[in-house]
Chains A and B, each alone.
Chain A
């Protein structure tokens, strides 16, 4: 156990020291990896139990747009706007989640209902173009360095914020993983009817993880908006983002806390790497390869990279114990 603590301490030192060495471009990538890693972790809080939501674009969109709109039109600080966005997102999760779980809308059907939800949010943002700027996107009013507006031109501030955000995500993941509801959720994932028959509150447990997941995703969307200082309905909501979230989480693996972050690290560096390699001469080349990799991942490694590494280690470990016995 001490080895593990030392490893964490080492990691913390590296992460804290990083801003002193890393050039701004890599800093930008790192912040994105942390924020998206947080969002993917938030998704996997419910996704790992087989409740595959294609609607997290909706929560992210609400979380990103509400504080930005309140800031521009009412001058309300994001410190109030972000919790409001999260609350609205939770409400949305409740309005769609409760009937879904009550009426046992599961599997494909759950995925499609949540997909419809993310389209509703994206198209509503586009339709309200007088207020939100529609497809052209939305820029929060910039005021320079300000704690009140939660705007920092220097990257190091957002690095610290996104690091804290990411650690919060991991903490919540662990809290649920170690919590009393964990066994109940596993049972539900295995067989809902059987779980209900032994007295598990199926609707309550599902709703709990869904609402936590929705709130965190909204928070991730808000911080993403504050950092990028530009929102576009296509990049923070709708089918494309929803699928992106699901893919990255699955590529990384949803069975370990670090999995979704590995997914973020891999997909973002792959995307950037391919973009740099191919340049702008071959628009689409990067995503073509990305698409093929996604298909291969789901066919050959449904447990994600972390799951695969775990399996290999377990097999090796088992092999050793078998040979010594």
Chain B
């Protein structure tokens, strides 16, 4: 499995010594609102570099001064790792650039369109849904999560469109799960991820996700409190639906 070096300098060195693969991303679906997307073959595996522009921020209605697209993606990554959710390893290179490990699994859209029905692990869906509610994710469409069909797991990617004052949208995988697995929806779950989250204090949360806008920071903590009463996948769906009213 590919791992990123610990320092930015070492990552830069790895990229410099690697080979850019322009043909790999030429027809590949856009990975978020990103001006530059480059895939590199390095001696440690494939790494994906993304750099967002001023226009990207305007399109996403994100003020880079209070948290750029790249920073938000990095904060989401830190939070995911802290609570134990599987996401690709990612590093913040500068205010607008991230580098992440490229995983050799298709995204949800690709799998649905070229292979067929996705089977989900209810526990994984519960965990991903907690993460997406917590981060106020507004862009979890079917190309913004990978589908690991070996372990029946969703792997969230491109989580940058998050941590805004308003609440998120119902993620695509949750919509599919709701339609396909009614039996699992109301079942009570207490996953390790939920336990991990409940042990994160407000101060630790602010340290993990250092939002510079007080309103956004308060909204994050409010969403964290919402999750205290969540017991099932249905409960999370209800949170999303209530917020959309």
Please indicate whether A and B come from the same complex rather than being unrelated chains: no
Interface residues of A (CB under 8 A from B): none
Interface residues of B (CB under 8 A from A): none
